[in-house]
Amino acid sequence: MINNQIKQLLVLFLLFILNACKPDEVITPIKEPGALVSIDLAKTRKFVQRNEKNEGEVLIVGNCSKPITSAKVKFKNYFSGQETDWLPLNVDDSNGFKGTFTLKGGGYYPQVIVQNNAQVLKDTLLPQNFKVGEIFAVIGHSLAEGQSPYTITAYDQQWCEIIKWPSTNGIDGFWGRFADKLRIRLQVPIMVYNTGIGGSNSYEWGQSAYGLEFQSPLFDWKKRYPYSFFEDRVNNDIPKSGIRAILVMHGENDYALAENQIVESTRAYIEKTRDLLNAPKLTFLIAKSNTNLKIPEVDKVKAAQKRMLTEIPFTYLGADLESLSGSTYRWDSIHFNFVGLEEAANRWNDVMTPEFFQQTKPYFRSN
Is residue 334 within 8 Å of 252, Cβ to Cβ? yes
Which segment of 9-13, 145-149, 249-253, 276-280 scores lowest on mean pLDDT?
Answer: 9-13
Decide if pLDDT at 30 tops 50.
Answer: no
Q: Cα separation of 33 and 203, whole Å?
A: 53
* DSSP 8-state assignment for residue 178: H
Decide if pLDDT at 12 tops 70.
Answer: no
Q: Which amino acid is at 325?
A: S
Task: Give pLDDT, residue 222.
Answer: 94
Please provide the average confidence, as pLDDT, over all residues in the chain. Answer: 88
Decide if pLDDT at 23 tops 90.
Answer: no
| pLDDT tens digits, one per residue of 145-204 | 998 899 999 999 999 999 987 764 678 999 999 999 999 999 999 999 999 999 999 999
Domains in the chain, start-ordered, CATH in brackets?
A: 37-128 (2.60.40), 133-359 (3.40.50.1110)
The residues with which 79 forms a beta bridge, in sequence order, are 107
Task: Give pLDDT, residue 292.
Answer: 66
Q: Cα separation of 109 and 173, whole Å?
A: 28
* DSSP 8-state assignment for residue 274: H
pLDDT category at 18 given cuts 50, 70, 90 is very low
Q: How far does CA 200 lie from the centroid of its chain?
A: 21
Decide if pLDDT at 90 tops 90.
Answer: yes
Please tell me whether residue 118 adopts helix, strand or coil conformation. coil
Task: Give pLDDT, residue 217.
Answer: 92
DSSP string, 19-61: HHTPPPPP----PPTT-SEEE-GGG-B-EEE--TTSEEEEEEE
Task: Give pLDDT, residue 198.
Answer: 92
Task: Give pLDDT, residue 39.
Answer: 60
Q: How far is CA 295 from CA 177, 184, 301, 346, in A?
A: 32, 40, 11, 27
Q: How far is CA 228 from CA 10, 115, 176, 225, 266, in A?
A: 63, 46, 24, 5, 15
The radius of gyration computed from the CA coordinates of the chain, to the nearest angstrom, equals 24
Q: Cα separation of 180 and 159, whole Å?
A: 8
Mean pLDDT of 281-294: 88
CB neighbours of 64 closer than 8 A, spacing ≥ 6? Answer: 36, 37, 71, 95, 96, 97, 114, 121, 122
Q: How far is CA 54 from CA 136, 158, 203, 352, 366, in A?
A: 16, 20, 37, 16, 17
Task: Give pLDDT, residue 224.
Answer: 96
Decide if pLDDT at 6 tops 50.
Answer: no
Q: What does pTM read for this prediction?
A: 0.88
Which segment of 20-24, 106-110, 255-259, 294-298 scores lowest on mean pLDDT?
Answer: 20-24
